[in-house]
């Protein structure tokens, strides 16, 4: 019988990019600085390609394409492909054509600035144009966006960027890597002996202002990704309206959902994040839909009731997802 592996020493760093908190953890402390430099470069490239808030981004340039085919970088083409795939697999619950709807509810700049603006908005039900109106040719990296359609990759881009970064850093550094962007977490390389220990806990207010409290699950992630979507962490008021950033493509308005937060594990963080966002939009049918997908998930209702799907929190290392252990006590 082989001796148990010695616990790996890890090193971590946190900073901000893409309008959110970036956390990098590596299993070789000597490689942390080099990995962090590579991560910063990667996220800068993602921002230049995919930001809805930068007038000089590639994505913003598509606003003026007026239905003409546009050749884009391989990076943006990949991000668009991930977004369109998420739309297809969620039956359109996650749709990249909600950019104009986001603008209409006031989420038209970095979130820190959105919170400072309290001017009233007029909420109007207007269905998103739909992801099928966007054509992407991966052979030529050419995208065609109909005139008047504005894209938003917020539901997929950060999770995809975390996946891509974790794989790049693990391949380059040859060690275990965890990359978390706003809590959407991807891991690659050889993990610590007991997996990457991640606390899954409900957040009832802005992440930077609200310390986690109450029961939580401790997840030992060995591969793939883990993501959480919610309606409480990114909220703001405009006039008399309380708004959040999860848009229902069928109405063009913030989703009306019985769930406060949804967390899921998947082979990639992008898949996990698409599933959690879709679950919020699907509302009462989310639990049934998640069961059909086979993804282990944890749903927290608006009144704090916790519901889980099969596989959460059992050992999923064989399925390429995660191993979890449940802790029901106050957070430290």
Contact 126, 252 (CB under 8 A): yes
> What's the CATH number for 11-327?
3.10.520.10
pLDDT in tens, 34-78: 999 999 999 999 999 999 888 999 999 998 898 999 999 999 999
What is the tally of helices (H) and strands (E) in the chain? 8, 18
Say whether pLDDT at 226 is over 80: yes
Average pLDDT of span 203-221: 63
Residue 144: enclosing H or E segment and its boundaries?
strand 142-144
Mean per-residue pLDDT of the chain: 84
Q: Where are the domains of the chain?
A: 11-327
Of 68-77, 144-153, 307-316, the one with minimum mean pLDDT is 307-316
**Region class of 75: left (phi > 0), else alpha (psi between -120 and 50), else beta:** alpha
In the prediction, which pLDDT does 329 show?
30
- What would the DSSP string read from start to end of 64-119? G-TT--EE--HHHHHHHHHHHHHHHHTTTSS-TT-HHHHHHTT--S-HHHHTT---
Q: In this structure, what are the phi and psi dihedrals at residue 182, rounded to the nearest 5 degrees?
A: 65, 25
Count the helix, strand and coil residues of the chain and give each as a percent rounded to the nearest 5: 30, 25, 45
């Amino acid at each position: 019988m082989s001796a148990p592996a010695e616990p790996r020493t890890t090193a971590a760093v946190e900073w901000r990019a893409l309008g959110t908190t970036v956390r990098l953890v590596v299993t070789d402390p000597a490689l942390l600085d080099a990995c962090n430099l590579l991560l910063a470069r990667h996220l800068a490239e993602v921002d230049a390609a995919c930001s809805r808030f930068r007038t000089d981004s590639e994505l913003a340039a598509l606003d003026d394409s007026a239905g003409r085919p546009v050749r884009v970088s391989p990076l943006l083409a990949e991000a668009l492909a991930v977004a369109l795939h998420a739309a297809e697999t969620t039956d359109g619950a996650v749709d990249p054509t909600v950019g104009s709807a986001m603008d209409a509810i006031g989420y038209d700049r970095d979130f820190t600035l959105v919170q400072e603006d309290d001017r009233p908005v007029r909420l109007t039900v207007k269905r998103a144009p739909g992801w099928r109106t966007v054509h992407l040719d991966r052979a030529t990296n050419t995208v065609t966006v109909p005139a008047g359609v504005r894209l938003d990759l917020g539901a997929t881009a950060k999770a995809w960027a975390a996946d891509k970064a974790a794989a790049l850093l693990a391949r380059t550094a040859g060690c275990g890597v965890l990359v978390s962007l706003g809590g959407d977490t991807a891991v690659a390389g050889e993990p610590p002996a007991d997996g990457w220990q991640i606390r899954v806990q409900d957040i009832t207010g802005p992440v930077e202002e609200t310390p986690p409290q109450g029961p939580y699950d401790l997840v030992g992630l060995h591969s793939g990704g883990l993501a959480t979507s919610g309606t409480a962490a990114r909220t703001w008021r405009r006039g008399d309206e309380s708004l959040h950033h999860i848009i229902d493509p069928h109405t063009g308005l913030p989703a009306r959902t019985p769930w406060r937060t949804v967390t899921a594990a998947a082979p990639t963080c992008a898949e996990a994040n698409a599933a959690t966002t879709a679950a919020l939009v699907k509302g009462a049918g989310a639990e049934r839909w998640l069961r059909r997908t086979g993804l282990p998930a944890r749903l927290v209702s608006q009144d704090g009731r916790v519901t889980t799907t099969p596989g959460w929190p059992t050992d999923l290392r064989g399925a390429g997802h995660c191993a979890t252990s449940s802790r029901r006590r106050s957070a430290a």
